[in-house]
A and B are shown apart, each in its own frame.
Chain A
Amino acid sequence: MERIPILRMGRYLLVTIQVDMHDRLAMTLQDDLTNRIVETGATGVLIDISSLEIVDSFIGRILGNVAAMSRVLDAETVVVGMQPAVAITLVELGLSLTGVRTALSVERGMELLRASQEAHLEESADGRTAG
């Protein structure tokens, strides 16, 4: 069965969606990602959708699910590279993708992850010293 490959980049996972996914493939991706986060202890997930020409409510839900699940596993998800036509359509469709952070590119996405992780660390540090 075909699967979408998940690359590991240090403490982050990178997924590049390049095919028009049928529903089962998308759900398999969701499962695979969750498993990989646990396996690798990843702190961040980058989903590159710059090749996706269509994002409908199903895919939108998958993205939302991945973001929520990863957060439970203490990882942050960033969706990058959304095409303008897709963004315009999603707005019209009424899909808000709340809880999903976005960035213009993989590089920006990684910056975002790093910045939020630093903030995260600071918080924990303060918490401890406050004791």
Chain B
Amino acid sequence: MAVLRDEVVPIRAAADVVLVRQVVREWAIKQGFGLVDQTKIVTAASELARNTLDYGGGGSLRLEALDEGVRRGLRLTFEDHGPGIPDLDLALKDGYTTGGGMGLGLSGSRRLMNEFEIDSRVGEGTRVTVTRWK
């Protein structure tokens, strides 16, 4: 599998969440995704970017355009060095909120993308990797 391009976008302020949406949209269009798929990818990115900012204390997004010969994809990796998630199972449950809400962020993004991976350690940080294939 080849990574055609990759880029890192810092997520440090609310305006960055808007920027993430724009950049992800551009990359999705470039990889050839249709409108509905674009919307799903950008929405998932918006959720995860917000989590990174609000719960992770800020972090970054790495975009990777993938090419596996038969199919193309877009992989997004959100990383922060925040408090981490103590109970992953609970956080992945629909509608779970820690008073103000991670809510649908994680479980929703998982549904919107084809692949979903999460690695979180308390006191160290969280990394969420999602991929959508064309």
**Residues in A lying within 8 Å of B, measured CB to CB:** 20-24, 53-58, 61, 84-86, 88-89, 92-95
Contact = CB atoms under 8 A, between A and B. Distances in A.
Contacts, number: 66
Contacts of A95: 104, 108
Contact of B108 (A84, A88, A93): A93
A20 B39 CA distance: 13
B40 A92 contact: yes
Contacts of B108: 57, 92-95
Contacts of B75: none
The size bracket of the interface on B is 20 to 34
B43 A55 contact: yes
A56 B43 contact: yes
26 contacts: A20-B21, A20-B22, A22-B14, A22-B15, A22-B17, A53-B39, A53-B42, A54-B42, A56-B43, A56-B47, A57-B104, A58-B46, A84-B36, A88-B36, A88-B39, A89-B39, A89-B112, A92-B108, A92-B111, A93-B111, A94-B94, A94-B95, A94-B104, A94-B107, A94-B108, A94-B111
B90 interface: no
Interface in B59-114: 94-95, 101, 103-105, 107-108, 111-112
Nearest to A26: B14
Contact of B35 (A85, A93, A94): A85
B127 interface: no
B75 to A, nearest CB: 19
Nearest to B94: A94
B39 A54 contact: yes
